[in-house]
């Protein structure tokens, strides 16, 4: 998907109010056929430009108190003004986000295994659709583990969740999880996973960036958001963001590379500047430097 250049801005633009009647400037795939409620919820976090900056803070559901996310509220609060949605569990939401918040929430609804168990793949749906509705969420997210002993179970979880989501008007984000096997992240494998997720009916698919990522995007009928993965130097995380959106991703659902940054508020704005304001890596890196000094 081509991106048009716009004049660079000194600061990343904060989220604008939803303009659901405005057609997106960029193509937003696979949103029209699901009814107004689902489209409306999706439009809360997939912005009118067809892009999104999602903040992932769901790591504790299998990792426990991850570094810099020990007290989720401390990580989340300063970042809320700069994101298009927060991806978290209901435990983090209820304890760490004020109910007055207007930031859209994509609720992590799968889980089960922990990092000290035999496999991370043996996931189930742990939070019901009615809870996501009661919590006024804009989407639900769950993982599939393709190529593991639990692939069929997790893909069935996705199918069931999409069926419930379409009944409720709730978009479903499918995450092509790799567990501890980070080396699996290549275009052939991720192309397979993302295509399966789209075929089963996911409304948005979250995956990893890789060499040949444009082919992954091409083969997936749903919009793709990219996870950041383990912490990288900030400039490399900006490169990952830039390469992802120029290859056709709708944006990021990034966690550690934002809230484990030395300057999380500067980092989220630099990422936002790439995703929404067409900054290149040099411009975003410069912005990060300026904002880090503020």
Closest approach, Cβ 178 to ligand 5RP, in A, equals 8
**Distance separating alpha carbons of residues 51 and 245, to the nearest angstrom:** 9
Out of 26, 256, 272, 276, the only residue in the binding site for ligand 5RP (CB under 6 A) is 256
Out of 93, 174, 175, 271, the only residue in the binding site for ligand 5RP (CB under 6 A) is 175
Out of 255, 268, 271, 287, the only residue in the binding site for ligand 5RP (CB under 6 A) is 255
Closest approach, Cβ 11 to ligand 5RP, in A, equals 23
- Total number of residues that touch ligand 5RP (CB under 6 A): 14
Q: What angle do CA 132, 76, 271 make, to 5 degrees?
A: 100
- Largest Cα separation within the chain, whole Å, is 51
The stretch among 27-35, 42-50, 249-257, 283-291 that binds ligand 5RP (CB under 6 A) is 249-257
**Distance separating alpha carbons of residues 48 and 20, to the nearest angstrom:** 7
Out of 15, 113, 228, 251, the only residue in the binding site for ligand 5RP (CB under 6 A) is 228
**Distance separating alpha carbons of residues 66 and 89, to the nearest angstrom:** 14
DSSP for 138-191 reads SEEEEEE-TTSTTHHHHHHHHHHHHHHHHHHT--EEEEE--TT-GGG-SHHHHH
Residue 54 bridge partners (DSSP): 85, 253
Which of residues 169 and 229 has its CB atom nearest to ligand 5RP in the complex? 229
Closest approach, Cβ 22 to ligand 5RP, in A, equals 29
Residue 61's closest CA among 98, 97, 99, 87? Answer: 87
Closest approach, Cβ 170 to ligand 5RP, in A, equals 18
Residues in 26-45 at the binding interface with ligand 5RP, rule: CB under 6 A: none
231 is catalytic: no
Out of 38, 205, 222, 227, the only residue in the binding site for ligand 5RP (CB under 6 A) is 227
Residues in 95-154 at the binding interface with ligand 5RP, rule: CB under 6 A: 143
Which of residues 15 and 228 has its CB atom nearest to ligand 5RP in the complex? 228
Other CB atoms within 10 Å distance of the CB of residue 144 = 28
Is residue 72 within 8 Å of residue 39, measured between CB atoms? no
As a whole number of Å, the end-to-end CA separation of the chain is 35
Query: Per CB under 6 A, does 58 bind ligand 5RP?
Result: yes
Q: What angle do CA 173, 179, 183 make, to 5 degrees?
A: 110
- Name the catalytic one among 184, 206, 231, 235: 206
Which of residues 18 and 135 has its CB atom nearest to ligand 5RP in the complex? 135
Token pair recorded at residue 276: 């929404």
Out of 112, 169, 212, 229, the only residue in the binding site for ligand 5RP (CB under 6 A) is 229
Closest approach, Cβ 200 to ligand 5RP, in A, equals 17
Helix (H, G, I), strand (E, B) or coil at 54: strand
Helix (H, G, I), strand (E, B) or coil at 121: coil
Name the residues annotated as catalytic.
206
State the residues that interact with ligand 5RP by CB under 6 A.
56, 58-59, 143, 175, 177, 227-229, 253-257
């Amino acid at each position: 998907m081509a991106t048009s250049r716009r004049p660079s801005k000194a600061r990343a633009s904060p989220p604008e109010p939803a303009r659901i009647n405005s057609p997106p400037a960029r193509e937003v795939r696979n949103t029209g056929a699901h009814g107004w409620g689902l489209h409306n919820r999706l439009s809360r976090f997939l912005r009118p430009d067809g892009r999104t900056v999602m903040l992932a803070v769901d790591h504790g559901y299998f990792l426990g108190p991850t570094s810099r996310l020990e007290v989720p509220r401390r990580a989340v609060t300063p970042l809320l003004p700069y994101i298009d949605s927060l991806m978290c569990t209901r435990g983090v939401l209820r304890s760490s986000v004020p109910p007055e918040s207007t930031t859209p929430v994509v609720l992590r609804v799968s889980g089960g295994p922990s990092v000290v168990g035999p496999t991370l793949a043996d996931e189930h749906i742990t939070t019901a659709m009615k809870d996501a509705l009661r919590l006024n969420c804009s989407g639900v997210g769950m993982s599939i583990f393709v190529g593991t002993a639990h692939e069929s179970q997790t893909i069935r979880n996705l199918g069931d969740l999409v069926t419930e989501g379409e009944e409720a008007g709730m978009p479903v984000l499918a995450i092509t999880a790799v567990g501890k096997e980070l080396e699996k992240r290549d275009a052939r494998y991720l192309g397979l996973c993302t295509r399966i997720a789209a075929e089963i009916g996911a409304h948005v698919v979250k995956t990893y960036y890789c060499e040949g990522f444009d082919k992954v995007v091409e083969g997936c009928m749903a919009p793709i958001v990219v996870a950041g993965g383990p912490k990288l130097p900030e400039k490399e995380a900006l490169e990952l963001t830039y390469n992802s959106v120029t290859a056709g991703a709708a944006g990021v659902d990034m966690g550690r590379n934002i809230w484990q940054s030395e300057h999380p508020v500067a980092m989220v704005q630099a990422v936002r500047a790439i995703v929404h304001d067409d900054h290149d890596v040099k411009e975003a890196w410069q912005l990060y430097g300026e904002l880090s000094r503020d």
